[in-house]
Structure 1
Amino acid sequence: MFFGEALAIFKQIGDKASEARTIRYIGSAFYQSGKFAEAEKTLRDGMEVLETLRTKLSDANKISIFETQTATYRLLQQVLIAQNKTNEALEISERGRSRAFVELLTSRLSNTNTSQTSQPAVDKPTIALLQKIAKQQNATLVQYSIITDDFKIDGKQQTKESEIYIWVIKPTGEITFRKSDLKPLWQKENTTLAELVTISRKSIGVTERGGIIPEPVKGVNQTKRLQQLHQLLITPIADLLPTKETERVVFIPQSQLFLVPFSALQDEKGKYLIEKHTILTAPSIQVLDLTHKQRIASKKSGIGKGEILVVGNPTMPKIPITDEQLTSLPGAEREAVKIADLLKTQAITGNKATKTAIVQKMLKARIIHFATHGLVDDFKGFGVPGAIAFAPSGEDNGFLTSGEILDLKLNAELIVLSACDTGRGRITGDGVVGLSRSLITAGIPSIVVSLWSVGDDSTSLLMTEFYKNMQQKQDKATALRQAMLTTMKHKNYQSPYHWAAFTLIGEVE
């Protein structure tokens, strides 16, 4: 009764945000009462209201408002699963992620300005579209959705992660739904999924770039943690993954799962996932479709004729505000020289690698390789975390920020950020907001980024192998996989720390 009255008032005064929130409360009440059909209709109405709120907003504001809206999408998935409508739940899972990103990419591809009031229509992610994308990618797509529920613990109501919903879409279009139970994590181990991901990364050993051999955290069993993540994320769907190691698997994570090194997950026999599969990641299935369209558009505009740009160890700038001097990376310079030699070009290093000079070359480049420092923070207050360090000059402080990258129009087919933490950023309901998102938006369909601070020597080996493999006409995902397998065979680089940090986002060709 109270909710009905409140809803009428919010509609009357035009308070859409409060209207949508009240609709969610009503939908939740129907769901708790087992009235699933009523809950579904109510929540679908609420979702439509939410989506009207995002029109005409800037990208940053869309991301911000989307943070407040994810609960409706999550609850609607639960309602649909309760009715065994697994395909419809997949549509909502896809619709509830990376929407601002999809709208931004769609706008860029149609050459319109995102600040204009008339923006291009964005396709709603229907099952037919998602099946088409899996076929077009010739890959098995694995989509994760983290579900939370309310539980009474010690007499108090608490919201906890309850399950992971997992959908597998095969290139044939066949879709299978599975679940993974998260309750034992906090019931038996008093931990969360986010904490498990963090401790798994620590078990691998995380250190600043500089060639230091990592020391895993004492008392943390690396194999146990990587197997535990495998048990949650891979074991429920292992029978659905391709049997040929050359066939591609694209993981579409959510929330803290963006930080998972999928390549390093281990099965019960201790075998790493990269040994069995060719792996990529993507922020959403629709983003994959849009990077594919980007690649086609780039080819039409003369891709393949551009230069190869390799930068290593620029004269390091100081971080604004803190005035901290970034350390030199001699190993990154050796890496750049070796790769430039392999690609028959000249590496740009030291004080020649200024931000101004490099940005000009980026505009004409076909392949871009940066071996330098990457920063995760939003140190300039642009709201878009991440920056790449170049040599400072009289014109600037040397940092190319994610916000500045968003304004570029790039035609490169591949960029490799051989630096620390370049795949990280601010994790939001819209995915990871940082360097990778900005570079894809700027026009690059394939990006190789790192999930932690990488070591100089092992990275140099891995990257050299990656480009050698590409010269042998291997696609990008296969080339990266083979480079990982080669690196892990080196007696000093067997730990996943040395070879599992890098991930390919986007297109393989």
Structure 2
Amino acid sequence: MHYKKIGLIFLIFLLSSIGSVTFAFLYPQFYTLNLQVLAQTPQDSIIKANDLVNQGIEQSEKSQFDTAIKSWQSALTIYQRVNDSFSQGTVLNYIGLAYRNLGQYQQSLVSLQQALALLKEGQDKVAIGTTFNNLGLVYNNLSQYEQALDFYQQALAIKQEFNDRRGQATLLNNIGTTYRNLSQYQKALEVYRQALILFKSVLDKSGEGTSLNNIGGVYDNLGQYSEALEVYQQALNLLQDVKDKTGEGTTLNNIGVLYRNLGQYSKALEQYQQALEILKQLGKRPLIATTLNNIGEIYDLQHQYETALNYYEQALKIRQEIQDKVGEGTTLNSIGAAYRNLGKYPEALKVYQQALAVKTEANDSRGRATTLNNRGNVYLDQGQHAKALEYYQQALEIYTEVGDRPNIGTTLNNIGSAYLQTGSYQRATEKLKKAIEVLESLRPGLSDANKVAIFETQDYTYRTLQRALIAQNRIEEALEIAERGRARAYVELLSKRLSDTSDPQPTILPPTIKQVQEIAQTQKATLVEYSIISERELFIWVIQPTGKISFRLVDLKSLKTSLQDFVSNSRTLIGVRGRSLAIIPKNPNELNKNQDIITRKTLENLHQILIQPIAKFLPTNPSSRIIFLPHTSLFLIPFPALQDTNGKYLIEKYIISTAPAIQVLDLTHKQRQKVSGVGALVVGNPKIETQVSRKYGLTQLDGAEQEAIKIAEILNTKAILGIEPTKAAILQKMPSARIIHLATHGLLDDVQKLGIPGAIVLAPNGKDNGLLTAKEILDSKLKLNAELVVLSACDTGQGTLTGDGVIGLSRSLITVGAPSVIVTLWKIPDTSTALLMTEFYQNLQQHSDKATALRTAMLTTMKKYPNPLEWSGFTLIGEAE
């Protein structure tokens, strides 16, 4: 007689951050064994034992694990009576897995160790290998990853001996999950890919779907969202084809988690709701609970805390009913977070205490540490620093014991923050430096996109350390940390492109103060670096060409809003709608007087915050250069248009350019030395593909066409217009050009939903829609030899604002070889653009300095079009010469 096999199960993996928890699915798998019937066993006992085993399996599938254990224990008694060691070992495997599902890991280990001893007596290698795997699963749950890997490897060796490719694939999936828990993401990917190949070789579509889900999960962890979405979609298609509804529901959940991480909450909810409907039909209560928890988290993130609590309570009820201790603790943590967000600290602490008890009972070390961290956060919110430190220290000890480096870094950050609040600045500095060391150790080997994403999660630590250092008047050291915490992925990518070595990860250290001073001297410019520390504090450093460094702390409390909102509101007040269109009066010579007053006052306010505090450190010679190094939202500031109280624009006083980091300036300067292109490539008013035109509301730009013709004449070339500038044609011409000018639409959108926004609109060729995206530029083998790329189009200077700078078109173009890029911060009218660009190129013919040429063009344009929106939206990024 054959016995049912317990199907695939899913482990809920807890991801912790400074103050919240999120949930995602992984796919560890276990094996079960077919019980063999011995001929000498009395028939009635066999039938009864068989019935009990099958009854236990049915109960287990309904998540009735306690009842299932009783059924299996009754069957075990029969097998003991007839001295059937193999069947005893098999049933003990079932019992061990049931205890694991209940979070009773020690009891699970006892049952599985007993099973192993019995099965070794019979020397059944297949059964022994199965038990090794199941032991590995439990040790993985206990965060004892080395022991887990040891058992998995023993099981894998047996599967290889018997050439069981499906079994090998299953083991490799479990090994990959352990590497993922250890944050060894590259190893996890390698192993998951091996599993995928093996599942394909045995035509196991569900297994393929499992491996693809796991691969997607790693990409999601790394912030490589485009790759994650792609493989999740492959998994979903496969699982739907084979009607694996459980796998389908799980994959939808994973896609939901991905959208959650992208901040696309409505899409996340849509995926979760689809998953919930499928899982309810299947009666998969553990997965239903997880999905309800995920939905609750989305409402929590949208500040709909009462709705979030409703979903959390539904999830909690199920998890308590099925005695899922690990899941119960996770949901209690979620409820605690909601109460904390509501400012209900006593309720939060009470729920966290319950979560702690449950996690302790379940021997969930990592979950216990997360709960301790969360309790510490509540005490820190209330200013109870000693208690916060006590809980953080306990969490740190656990994370250190299990080797969880990301959370070691997070907890060290929390400890540093607590010391900072108590005025223990030196101790705060020590802990925060250790946190940065740990967090930076996670980055080697990651892709550029992964580094950007992981930097964003770690940005808070760099900013907190800057505060601690400034509190001790360690101004220069704080500047080093500011540089160390910005544009690192950008710097490393540029360095790799410039490097002559074959090393895929060339080592490039953050700049020292001496190197910063040397860069200022080489640039012959005053460097102004901003760092937004919090809603209330802005740090500004001024590095003069002489090497002198000055510092100012700007108190932002008077703004009564965040600096980000202030910048956004300021742009609206001067006529920029959102992050794109500038509204210009039809007759620029008859500006609305009220709007003129509002614009001037707004630009003065920005000047008051960003320039006035450092004014005495800036040069007085109007031919002096200033390079601004903005931070996050400050990249949206039109620095040339900032006005002092005398009504004088900044561009009238200085030659201005920008860069994302001081070290980037050094690299673009080196990049400038390698320029070898000749001639110019000028594109104007490409034919817009119909669907692109409709989707983005784009029309043909006759003014851009005239602009391109004039500029091409200045540069002694012919403009490429209309249907001619297809993506393929322009990509072919770009590497040989010395100057590239693209007078066309630019899009801010993440056109391909690949995580890197920005696209240049070119002509379609029948094979594509003509959109050249920032990601395509970055991922291609394109190597520019141009000294300058000008994107005379709307929003080309924008993108995703990060600590790594603006992720978009400008970054992509500099990365592939352009040392200087001119972009726009909003849509500028054709007439003023044409004048400014014509003036720019005529000036460039006389001066090799692009920043000087741009300044002169702005001053000329200003005379005819005095509204700042008509001339100040152009920004030079990178090398000026």
| 1:87–1:382 distance in 2 versus 1, CA, 3 Å | same
Q: Which runs of structure 2 are paired with 1:64-75 in the superposition (5 Å)?
A: 64-75=453-464
* TM-score, length-scaled by structure 1: 0.91
Q: Which moves more between the two structures, 31-40 or 368-377?
A: 31-40
Q: 1:415 aligns with which of 789, 797, 806?
A: 789
| 1:30–1:325 distance in 2 versus 1, CA, 3 Å | closer
Looking at structure 2, the residues matched to 140 and 43 of structure 1 have their Cα atoms a distance apart, in angstroms, of: 30
Shift in Å at residue 204 of structure 1? 2.7
Looking at structure 1, the residues matched to 411 and 564 of structure 2 have their Cα atoms a distance apart, in angstroms, of: 29
Q: Which runs of structure 2 are paired with 1:314-329 in the superposition (5 Å)?
A: 314-318=686-690, 323-324=695-696, 326-329=698-701
The question of 1:60 aligning with 2:449 is answered yes
2:821 maps to which residue?
A: 447
| 1:146–1:79 distance in 2 versus 1, CA, 3 Å | same
| 1:37–1:183 distance in 2 versus 1, CA, 3 Å | same
Q: Which runs of structure 2 are paired with 1:418-433 in the superposition (5 Å)?
A: 418-433=792-807
* TM-score, length-scaled by structure 2: 0.53
| 1:46–1:319 distance in 2 versus 1, CA, 3 Å | farther
2:657 maps to which residue?
A: 280
For the 8 Å contact 2:574–2:602, the answer to whether it is kept is no
> What is the letter of the counterpart of residue 60 of structure 1?
A
For the 8 Å contact 1:210–1:455, the answer to whether it is kept is no
User: Per chain length, whose mean CA-contact separation is higher, i.e. which structure has more relative contact order (CA < 8 Å, sep 6+)?
Assistant: 1
> What is the letter of the counterpart of residue 56 of structure 1?
G
Shift in Å at residue 242 of structure 1? 1.1
1:138 maps to which residue?
A: 524
Looking at structure 1, the residues matched to 480 and 691 of structure 2 have their Cα atoms a distance apart, in angstroms, of: 43
| 1:271–1:319 distance in 2 versus 1, CA, 3 Å | farther
Q: Which runs of structure 2 are paired with 1:12-161 in the superposition (5 Å)?
A: 12-111=401-500, 118-148=504-534, 161=535
Looking at structure 1, the residues matched to 693 and 449 of structure 2 have their Cα atoms a distance apart, in angstroms, of: 23
| 1:178–1:442 distance in 2 versus 1, CA, 3 Å | same
Shift in Å at residue 15 of structure 1? 1.2
Instruction: State the superposition RMSD in angstroms.
Output: 1.9
Looking at structure 1, the residues matched to 465 and 773 of structure 2 have their Cα atoms a distance apart, in angstroms, of: 37
- Corresponding residue SS for 2:801: strand
Q: Which runs of structure 2 are paired with 1:222-233 in the superposition (5 Å)?
A: 222-233=599-610
For the 8 Å contact 2:627–2:659, the answer to whether it is kept is yes
For the 8 Å contact 2:693–2:699, the answer to whether it is kept is no
Shift in Å at residue 297 of structure 1? 2.4
> What is the letter of the counterpart of residue 170 of structure 1?
Q
1:154 maps to which residue?
A: none
> What is the letter of the counterpart of residue 267 of structure 1?
D
- Corresponding residue SS for 1:53: coil
> What is the letter of the counterpart of residue 334 of structure 1?
Q
Q: 1:174 aligns with which of 548, 552, 575?
A: 548
Q: Which moves more between the two structures, 405-414 or 208-217?
A: 208-217
- Corresponding residue SS for 1:363: helix
1:257 maps to which residue?
A: 634
Looking at structure 2, the residues matched to 71 and 356 of structure 1 have their Cα atoms a distance apart, in angstroms, of: 42
Looking at structure 1, the residues matched to 444 and 575 of structure 2 have their Cα atoms a distance apart, in angstroms, of: 43
> What is the letter of the counterpart of residue 576 of structure 2?
V
Shift in Å at residue 321 of structure 1? 11
For the 8 Å contact 2:413–2:432, the answer to whether it is kept is yes
Shift in Å at residue 454 of structure 1? 1.0
1:95-143, Cα deviation, whole Å (9 max, x unpaired) = 1111111111111111568xx7x51001222101111110111100000
The question of 1:204 aligning with 2:590 is answered no
Looking at structure 1, the residues matched to 748 and 661 of structure 2 have their Cα atoms a distance apart, in angstroms, of: 21
Shift in Å at residue 501 of structure 1? 0.4
The question of 1:466 aligning with 2:855 is answered no
Q: 1:237 aligns with which of 614, 622, 646?
A: 614
Looking at structure 1, the residues matched to 731 and 659 of structure 2 have their Cα atoms a distance apart, in angstroms, of: 26
Unaligned runs of 5+ in 2: 1-389
Looking at structure 1, the residues matched to 392 and 544 of structure 2 have their Cα atoms a distance apart, in angstroms, of: 43
Shift in Å at residue 83 of structure 1? 0.4
- From the two aligned structures, give the one with the greater helix fraction: 2
For the 8 Å contact 1:282–1:288, the answer to whether it is kept is yes
For the 8 Å contact 1:147–1:163, the answer to whether it is kept is yes
> What is the letter of the counterpart of residue 326 of structure 1?
L
> What is the letter of the counterpart of residue 100 of structure 1?
A
Shift in Å at residue 343 of structure 1? 1.3
> What is the letter of the counterpart of residue 135 of structure 1?
Q
1:482 maps to which residue?
A: 856
> What is the letter of the counterpart of residue 313 of structure 1?
N
Looking at structure 2, the residues matched to 34 and 291 of structure 1 have their Cα atoms a distance apart, in angstroms, of: 40
Looking at structure 2, the residues matched to 4 and 297 of structure 1 have their Cα atoms a distance apart, in angstroms, of: 51
Shift in Å at residue 17 of structure 1? 1.2
For the 8 Å contact 2:495–2:667, the answer to whether it is kept is yes
| 1:324–1:90 distance in 2 versus 1, CA, 3 Å | closer
Shift in Å at residue 181 of structure 1? 1.3
- Corresponding residue SS for 2:847: coil
Shift in Å at residue 395 of structure 1? 2.6
> What is the letter of the counterpart of residue 544 of structure 2?
K
The question of 1:436 aligning with 2:810 is answered yes
1:422-468, Cα deviation, whole Å (9 max, x unpaired) = 00001112111000000000100000000011110000000000001
For the 8 Å contact 1:317–1:325, the answer to whether it is kept is no
> What is the letter of the counterpart of residue 450 of structure 1?
T
Shift in Å at residue 212 of structure 1? 6.8
For the 8 Å contact 1:209–1:456, the answer to whether it is kept is no
| 1:89–1:318 distance in 2 versus 1, CA, 3 Å | farther
1:140-177, Cα deviation, whole Å (9 max, x unpaired) = 000001112xxxxxxxxxxxx11111000011111111
For the 8 Å contact 1:318–1:326, the answer to whether it is kept is no
| 1:212–1:145 distance in 2 versus 1, CA, 3 Å | same
Shift in Å at residue 307 of structure 1? 2.1
Looking at structure 2, the residues matched to 327 and 482 of structure 1 have their Cα atoms a distance apart, in angstroms, of: 31
Shift in Å at residue 219 of structure 1? 10
- Corresponding residue SS for 2:811: helix
- Corresponding residue SS for 1:68: helix
> What is the letter of the counterpart of residue 742 of structure 2?
F
Looking at structure 2, the residues matched to 361 and 494 of structure 1 have their Cα atoms a distance apart, in angstroms, of: 37
1:271-312, Cα deviation, whole Å (9 max, x unpaired) = 1000001000000000011101111122xxx34xx1200100
Looking at structure 1, the residues matched to 708 and 557 of structure 2 have their Cα atoms a distance apart, in angstroms, of: 47
For the 8 Å contact 1:318–1:325, the answer to whether it is kept is no
| 1:274–1:97 distance in 2 versus 1, CA, 3 Å | same
- Corresponding residue SS for 1:69: helix
For the 8 Å contact 1:196–1:225, the answer to whether it is kept is no
For the 8 Å contact 1:366–1:413, the answer to whether it is kept is yes
Looking at structure 1, the residues matched to 501 and 757 of structure 2 have their Cα atoms a distance apart, in angstroms, of: 24
Shift in Å at residue 240 of structure 1? 1.0
For the 8 Å contact 1:318–1:324, the answer to whether it is kept is no
> What is the letter of the counterpart of residue 827 of structure 2?
S
Shift in Å at residue 320 of structure 1? 5.5
- From the two aligned structures, give the one with the greater strand fraction: 1
| 1:388–1:212 distance in 2 versus 1, CA, 3 Å | farther
The question of 1:504 aligning with 2:881 is answered no
For the 8 Å contact 2:480–2:512, the answer to whether it is kept is yes
> What is the letter of the counterpart of residue 772 of structure 2?
L
1:186-213, Cα deviation, whole Å (9 max, x unpaired) = 1xxxx33222212222233237489874
% identical aligned pairs: 58
- Corresponding residue SS for 1:125: coil
Shift in Å at residue 20 of structure 1? 0.6
Looking at structure 1, the residues matched to 749 and 731 of structure 2 have their Cα atoms a distance apart, in angstroms, of: 21
